[in-house]
Amino acid sequence: MKVLKRFFFSSLLIFFSVFLYSQGLLNSHHDFTGTSWSGGEACSPCHTPHNANMLVPDSPLWNHEVTTASYQVYSSPTLNSNPGQPTGFSKLCLSCHDGTVAIENHGSYTGGTQYVTWGNVTTDLRDDHPISFEYNTALATVDGGLHDPASTPSGLGGTIAEDLLQSGYLQCTSCHDPHISRNTQGCIGCHNMATRVTTDLSLRISNTGSALCLTCHDK
Amino acid sequence: MSKFLAYITVVFLINHLSIVMGQESPLSHHDFKRSSWGGNSPCTPCHITRSGSTKIPSSPIWSKRDTVSIYQVYSSTTLNSYPSLPSGKSKQCLACHDETVANANHMVGPPGKSSLHISLRNSHPISFVYDANLAMTDHGLNDPSTTLSGLGGTIEEDLLEDGRMECTSCHDVHNISRQDSFERDNLNDSKGHAGRTFFSLRKSNEGSALCLTCHNI
């Protein structure tokens, strides 16, 4: 009986330590530590301490092969901004997510064969939220339906401009955190047994009740 | 008195290392005794014993000038710290590892090892204060004054130099525990992982453990 009890508690401990371990990047879709090509490392698929790739200015010590694709960008008659070819952090994301560069291609390795599947946003960005354009007070004024990024709080501590924009530009990272740091519960934080997936937890701000959208859109 | 004893010990170690340690030097890749230019002691490329001098150095005596190169330091749009020109012991590392250093006396650029020359522009930021304040602004960093490094003390105690991030925050050139770093060249696998635990690191980076000591991501 004592043995059973001990077994019960130790398995409980292991169970919880798995949850603790999975805080942050680990156990997210960007956790490649379980693959052989990553060498078991969590950061090196994307970052390196030396000899980082400088093709995209201001990247955070980038270690992944950078995409060279050209894109069809979003446009619409009501759009006031002018999205150009992807820049900055968006270009880093697209270096896996446009489906043209293999996921494994990092450091000096270029022989990868695996590509994103359901996460492929392709090089046709006409069906995606516009990115890589300046979102400033002037745009908000012209548009009429946008909050002023320089003065509106994001809910994360600072303003929209401080917390969600990259030097004033709207990028993939305005909505997503690549480290998926809000997931504290491992796989089941996003997937549960009944429904396939809630992508909510990789977002910088939860989109429950369209909260993310309404951070910038004043509708 | 204790300072004097320490000085004697260092001088003794530097001059008689082979007696103390036997044949095998613990210096791994920094054992320059193996090279023609390294001299008799594996220590002299970085330390010298000035005869007649009684000064006790607070840092190793460097057998060559500091680098005078003008560096372009790391910058990015998400950085909260303020990396300065190299300070502290990083200057000494860069005396040999700087991409602009020429070969002279002990100013080595190991032949055919250009990757050993570090550019600060695309390297992990160094030479800035890393304190509880920075951790609070950044949101993704552990508090160095309270977080354990895994080496016995806190990050601040074990990895920082006067509260600052330097080359020595990640590297320990004396790294006695990993003599096997000689094996590094054989450990290069086809995926560009040049034997990641063999870079004289303060602690193994297996599973990015070194990165995750400070980064709370």
Beta strands in A71-203 (DSSP E): 133-134, 169-170
What is the spatial distance between Cα A53 and Cα B169, in angstroms, rounded to a whole number? 23
**Sequence-distant (≥ 6) Cβ neighbours of residue A92 within 8 angstroms:** A46, A56, A59, A62, A64, A66
Place of tokens 């020109």: B85
- Span A114-159, pLDDT tens digits: 999 988 999 999 999 999 999 999 999 999 999 999 999 999 889 9
Distance from the Cα of B112 to chain A's closest Cα (Å) equals 16
- Out of B8-12, B45-49, B97-101, B210-214, which region has the weakest mean confidence (pLDDT)? B8-12
- Is the Cβ pair A61, B140 closer than 8 Å? no
Single-letter residue type at B173: V
CB-nearest to A52 from B122, B206, B215 is B122
CA B113 from centroid of its chain's CA atoms = 17
- Is the Cβ pair A60, B78 closer than 8 Å? yes
Segment B144-171 mean pLDDT: 94
Does residue B185 carry a pLDDT above 50? no
Q: Residue A189: name the closest of A17, A14, A23, A11 by CA.
A: A23
Q: In the prediction, which pLDDT does B30 show?
A: 60
CB-nearest to B193 from A39, A60, A181 is A39
> Where are the domains positioned within chain A?
66-219
Chain A residues whose beta carbon lies within 8 Å of the beta carbon of residue B190:
109, 111
- Out of A74-83, A103-112, B33-42, B103-112, which region has the weakest mean confidence (pLDDT)? B103-112
Could you tell me what percent of chain B has a pLDDT over 70?
47
Does residue A202 carry a pLDDT above 90? no
Q: Of residues A52 and B24, which shows the higher confidence score?
A: A52
Segment B200-209 mean pLDDT: 82
H/E element, B165: strand B164-165
Segment A160-184 mean pLDDT: 87
Does residue B163 carry a pLDDT above 70? yes
Does residue B116 carry a pLDDT above 90? no
- pTM for the full model? 0.86
Does residue B17 carry a pLDDT above 70? no
Q: In the prediction, which pLDDT does B1 show?
A: 41
Does residue B178 carry a pLDDT above 70? no
Q: Of residues A90 and A187, which shows the higher confidence score?
A: A90
Q: Of residues A23 and B107, which shows the higher confidence score?
A: A23
Does residue A206 carry a pLDDT above 90? no
Q: In the prediction, which pLDDT does B47 show?
A: 66
Segment A89-116 mean pLDDT: 94
- Out of A51-60, A174-183, B189-198, which region has the weakest mean confidence (pLDDT)? B189-198
Selected residue of A36, A37, A41 to mutate for chain B interface (largest B Cβ count, 10 A): A41
Mean pLDDT of chain A: 84
Please write down the HEC assignment for all residues of A50-78.
Answer: CCCECCCCCCCCECECCCCCCCECCCCCC
Distance from the Cα of A24 to chain B's closest Cα (Å) equals 5
Contact A98, A121 (CB under 8 A): yes
Polymer length in residues for chain B: 217
ipTM of the complex: 0.78
Q: In the prediction, which pLDDT does A192 show?
A: 62
Mean pLDDT of chain B: 65
Contact A164, A204 (CB under 8 A): yes
- Span B45-96, pLDDT tens digits: 666 555 433 333 334 444 444 555 566 788 888 888 888 888 888 887 887 7
Does residue B143 carry a pLDDT above 60? yes
Q: In the prediction, which pLDDT does A95 show?
A: 97
Chain B residues whose beta carbon lies within 8 Å of the beta carbon of residue A51:
115, 119, 122-123
Would you say the C-alpha torsion A55, A59, A61, A64 has a positive or negative sign? Answer: negative
Q: In the prediction, which pLDDT does B31 show?
A: 56
Contact A64, A53 (CB under 8 A): yes
Does residue B106 carry a pLDDT above 60? no
Segment B107-135 mean pLDDT: 74
- Span A30-77, pLDDT tens digits: 889 888 888 888 999 999 998 899 999 889 999 999 999 999 999 999
Q: In the prediction, which pLDDT does A58 show?
A: 87
Chain B residues whose beta carbon lies within 8 Å of the beta carbon of residue A204:
none
Chain A residues with CB within 8 Å of chain B CB: 24-25, 33, 37, 39-44, 47, 49-54, 58-61, 88, 104, 106-109, 111, 166-167, 179, 181
Segment A162-186 mean pLDDT: 84
Selected residue of B191, B206, B211, B216 to mutate for chain A interface (largest A Cβ count, 10 A): B191
**Which stretches of chain B are DSSP H helices?**
2-15, 17-21, 88-97, 132-138, 155-159, 184-187, 209-214
Give the residue on A whose Cα is nearest the Cα of B167: A49
Q: In the prediction, which pLDDT does B46 show?
A: 65
